[in-house]
Structure 1
Amino acid sequence: MSTASRPAPSRLLRNARVATGALFFTNGALFSNLLPRYPAIKSGLDLTNTEFGLVVIAFPVGAIISGLAAAAAIRRFGAANVAVIGTVLTAAGLVAVGWAPALWLIVAALFVAGSADSITDVGQNSHGIAVQRGYGRSIINSFHAVWSAGAVTGGLMGTAAAANEVPLGLHLTVSSVVWVLVAFVARRFTLPAGMSVGPPLVEEHHTAGGPAAAWLRRPPVLLAALVLIAMSGTMVEDAGNTWSAVFLTQELDAGPALAGLAFVATVGAQFVGRVLGDPMTDRLGQRAVARLGAALIIVGMGLVVLGPSSVAVIAGFALAGFGSATLVPAAMNAADDMPGMRAGNALTIVSWLMRVAFVVSPPLVGAIGDAAGLRAGLAVVPVLAVGTLLLAGVLRGRER
């Protein structure tokens, strides 16, 4: 990073940082409006846990199928433009979910929304990393913190709509229009398209451990490790997104308002972790922060699985959410710093493959839940966190 940009970021960079934060906020709020409505959708369609898990993976399946197009789109149109266009298409898919009269239409609409969301995700992260380069210090966690704040806002909107029995179609239409307008306004203040892609080649990224860890520096191994680290974070997000409200409703007989708070606690704690993430990363390094986060995921999900009350379960989701806070940003940042990769390629690959967790997790947790209860199903969530403890050496250590 250029040291010249460190003393005083330009007005362009400051505006771009705020605008990028608005795009992240919008992305978090859009989909999160739907999540507290999942229990009603599940019961309204009379779905088993397994069937429900198979329905909701339409969103990540769409993301995986379309995700690899993001890098080419960014190079052609610019990261910010891609993020805004993706936001519009995601919103359209969610509105269709709200008004869909049949199960297959809900699946199709979730597929479209997920396809657009994956491209939005890469676009906004690519733009955020470009702004970070201009600042010359870690700010990527702050963008993901704003995403979490948006997710909390969307979750509260959805919880309120569910508690007041607002029709799903009306609720998702109003929320989608609001957040699309925010995205259009934000686009006016982002970096010009030519500045939002980043350099064609990036600096070499070093792992920990010297010769003993040299195998981790091989590009395929490094990419795989970064994907696993990101997936250990997204597994927690998926547990909060898909199963927290269902778990509290089904296992602990919680009402709609209380059940929706488990998701809010997950993303709320994740928000706090991301606000603290940049100073923690600057002080301790990505590696130590990731290992601490993985340990908190293991403890938090253990509390979810063993917790005797709704309060204990919500606290466990919050702890796991805090632990997952920096994992996805760290993996994406490290991917964008990989040597010898064209702009956006490594970031796109990590973003694309980490969504496998969103595809595998719902039906896996659902199938185990039908066979042995959702407590047993959610016990699989922290497994990847163990891998993060072992492979966090691919991330940056503390700068000396």
Structure 2
Amino acid sequence: MIGSISSTPARAARIAVSALFFLQGLCFASWASRIPALQQSLRLDEAQLGSILFALPIGAMVSIPVAGWLVARYGSKVCVISGAACYAVVLSSIGLAQTPWQLGLALVLFGCASNITNIAMNTQAVSVEAEYGRPVMASFHGYWSLAGFAGAAIGWGMSKLEWSPFRHFACITVMDILTLLVVSRFVMQQDVVARRTRTRFTWPGKMLLMLGLMAFCAAICEGTMDDWSGVYFKKVVLVSALLDGAGYVAFKGASAAARLAADFFTARFGRTQILQACGILTAGGYLMVICLPYFITATLGCLLVGAGVSIIVPLINSAAGRSTQLHTGLALATVSTIGNMGFLIGPPLIGFVAKYNGLQIAFIIIALLGACITVLASRVKT
């Protein structure tokens, strides 16, 4: 039965949803790769840039409840196609920004479109996984990670060609829209899991709250590696400027590889066991970075963190999507709301602790949060 399902519409839907994940990752990486160019063109110092960059998570946070309701009301197909198209168009508008406030406004809209697309896209992924009858969620997130590498490479090439951010982003927008026209006919017509759940909001139960707490811990662990690994290698590992990005590259490479391989191990060992192992890998990787602050060992530690933390959110989304308490979109929005708080709290937390106690002490706190994931995973049915 599973074989016949996966060979026809579900297989086409899986390819289409994989393409959607890749397109969203490509748009985000394209924007991120041209931040230095936008900073230079708008003549922003680091403090001003940091303040403006905060607009993106604000847009994402305020749109989470709306995104959940839209998916529950209109279905994930309508929301994912329209959201992805808006995301691509807003990307081009970022390149048109001539003043800091215009860039900030564009980033708020970018965050809103991103989150609507993200909730709808993961709802589609949950439905595809239900049709397959086996874990496939992590592979979708793996394509997002691969798109990050592609977007970074394209951005580097565009910079070398001295293309303006708008010209670069416009090309990505056109490619995105054309791809959406092709894949839109293959995405799931109905949210399979959502047909069994309520569409009106009720207070989330213990399971969703626990999943949200795991997502919160994972977000801080992941955000710390994104924002602080280069600083850590420079100030604690004491490497040259040429090598201070080695930990980040190891982290991202391991993240992409782990997501593409995770479905096989999840099917064999179960979500609970894999989540527990992810917490151990995350905490262990941070401890290696802290206790052995040398280039090879610190790089290996970052690799372990990437292999562990990257799988947590896909597995949490898969578990939340099967909730019988809320509609799939609302359940994912609930978990995302709690989880995304980690991205907001993490940077100032690390900065504050590092200022008075050093980065290694700050990283100890993050290692403890990684260990919390293992404890929480053992207390919730996934």
TM-score, normalization: structure 1?
0.81
Taking a change above 3 Å as real, the CA distance of residues 348 and 133 of structure 1, as seen in their structure-2 partners, is same
Structure 1 residue identity aligned to 2:254: A
Q: Specify the alignment match of 2:61 in structure 1.
A: 64
**Aligned counterparts of 1:171 and 1:252: Cα–Cα separation in 2:** 33
- How far 1:306 sits from its partner (Å)? 6.1
The answer to whether the Cα contact below 8 Å between 2:142 and 2:259 also exists between their aligned partners in 1 is: yes
The answer to whether the Cα contact below 8 Å between 1:334 and 1:395 also exists between their aligned partners in 2 is: no
Give secondary structure in 2 for the equivalent of 1:69: helix
The number of aligned residues is 374
Q: Specify the alignment match of 2:194 in structure 1.
A: 198
Taking a change above 3 Å as real, the CA distance of residues 231 and 375 of structure 1, as seen in their structure-2 partners, is same
**Aligned counterparts of 1:166 and 1:314: Cα–Cα separation in 2:** 33
List aligned pairs for 1:49-128, cutoff 5 A: 53-128=50-125
Q: Specify the alignment match of 2:322 in structure 1.
A: 337
Structure 2 residue identity aligned to 1:349: T
The answer to whether the Cα contact below 8 Å between 2:196 and 2:324 also exists between their aligned partners in 1 is: no
Taking a change above 3 Å as real, the CA distance of residues 86 and 219 of structure 1, as seen in their structure-2 partners, is closer
Q: Specify the alignment match of 2:261 in structure 1.
A: 276
Taking a change above 3 Å as real, the CA distance of residues 395 and 145 of structure 1, as seen in their structure-2 partners, is farther
The answer to whether the Cα contact below 8 Å between 1:234 and 1:358 also exists between their aligned partners in 2 is: yes
1:261-300 Cα offsets, whole Å, 9 max, x none, are 6544333211211122111111111111111111221232
Are 1:349 and 2:317 an aligned pair?
A: no
List aligned pairs for 1:157-176, cutoff 5 A: 157-161=154-158, 166-176=163-173
Q: Specify the alignment match of 1:384 in structure 2.
A: 369
Taking a change above 3 Å as real, the CA distance of residues 311 and 61 of structure 1, as seen in their structure-2 partners, is farther
The answer to whether the Cα contact below 8 Å between 1:25 and 1:146 also exists between their aligned partners in 2 is: yes
Structure 1 residue identity aligned to 2:46: L
1:334-362 Cα offsets, whole Å, 9 max, x none, are 11222332342212211232111122223
**Aligned counterparts of 2:316 and 2:176: Cα–Cα separation in 1:** 27
- CA RMSD, Structure 1 to Structure 2 (Å): 3.2
1:292-326 Cα offsets, whole Å, 9 max, x none, are 11122123234445665666555433321111122
- How far 1:122 sits from its partner (Å)? 0.8
**Aligned counterparts of 1:150 and 1:162: Cα–Cα separation in 2:** 18
- How far 1:259 sits from its partner (Å)? 5.9
- How far 1:115 sits from its partner (Å)? 1.0
- How far 1:137 sits from its partner (Å)? 1.1
The answer to whether the Cα contact below 8 Å between 1:294 and 1:389 also exists between their aligned partners in 2 is: yes
**Aligned counterparts of 2:331 and 2:25: Cα–Cα separation in 1:** 23
Structure 1 residue identity aligned to 2:131: G
Give secondary structure in 2 for the equivalent of 1:119: helix
Structure 2 residue identity aligned to 1:334: A
The answer to whether the Cα contact below 8 Å between 1:335 and 1:346 also exists between their aligned partners in 2 is: yes
**Aligned counterparts of 1:88 and 1:352: Cα–Cα separation in 2:** 23
**Aligned counterparts of 1:253 and 1:167: Cα–Cα separation in 2:** 30
Structure 2 residue identity aligned to 1:201: T
Runs (5+) with no aligned partner, structure 2: none
- How far 1:240 sits from its partner (Å)? 4.4
**Aligned counterparts of 1:271 and 1:33: Cα–Cα separation in 2:** 17
Of all paired residues, the percent bearing the same amino acid is 28
1:191-216 Cα offsets, whole Å, 9 max, x none, are 22x355632339xxxxxxxxxxxxxx
**Aligned counterparts of 2:311 and 2:174: Cα–Cα separation in 1:** 30
Runs (5+) with no aligned partner, structure 1: 203-217
- How far 1:56 sits from its partner (Å)? 2.5
Structure 2 residue identity aligned to 1:126: T
- How far 1:123 sits from its partner (Å)? 0.4
Give secondary structure in 1 for the equivalent of 2:205: helix
Taking a change above 3 Å as real, the CA distance of residues 95 and 380 of structure 1, as seen in their structure-2 partners, is farther
The answer to whether the Cα contact below 8 Å between 2:215 and 2:316 also exists between their aligned partners in 1 is: yes
**Aligned counterparts of 1:63 and 1:278: Cα–Cα separation in 2:** 28
User: Given the alignment, which residue of 241, 250, 254 partners 1:254?
Assistant: 241
Taking a change above 3 Å as real, the CA distance of residues 237 and 30 of structure 1, as seen in their structure-2 partners, is farther
Q: Specify the alignment match of 1:129 in structure 2.
A: 126
**Aligned counterparts of 2:128 and 2:67: Cα–Cα separation in 1:** 18
Structure 2 residue identity aligned to 1:286: R
The answer to whether the Cα contact below 8 Å between 2:30 and 2:169 also exists between their aligned partners in 1 is: yes
**Aligned counterparts of 2:77 and 2:138: Cα–Cα separation in 1:** 18
Are 1:46 and 2:45 an aligned pair?
A: yes
Deviates more, 1:115-124 or 1:240-249: 240-249
**Aligned counterparts of 2:241 and 2:77: Cα–Cα separation in 1:** 41
Structure 1 residue identity aligned to 2:241: A
User: Given the alignment, which residue of 206, 223, 232 partners 2:217?
Assistant: 232
**Aligned counterparts of 1:261 and 1:175: Cα–Cα separation in 2:** 28
- How far 1:371 sits from its partner (Å)? 5.5
Taking a change above 3 Å as real, the CA distance of residues 375 and 185 of structure 1, as seen in their structure-2 partners, is farther
- How far 1:144 sits from its partner (Å)? 1.4
Give secondary structure in 2 for the equivalent of 1:13: helix
1:29-56 Cα offsets, whole Å, 9 max, x none, are 21122334446666852214xx655433
- How far 1:102 sits from its partner (Å)? 2.8
Structure 1 residue identity aligned to 2:186: F
**Aligned counterparts of 1:259 and 1:234: Cα–Cα separation in 2:** 22
Taking a change above 3 Å as real, the CA distance of residues 132 and 96 of structure 1, as seen in their structure-2 partners, is same
Structure 2 residue identity aligned to 1:254: A
**Aligned counterparts of 1:372 and 1:45: Cα–Cα separation in 2:** 30
Q: Specify the alignment match of 1:294 in structure 2.
A: 279
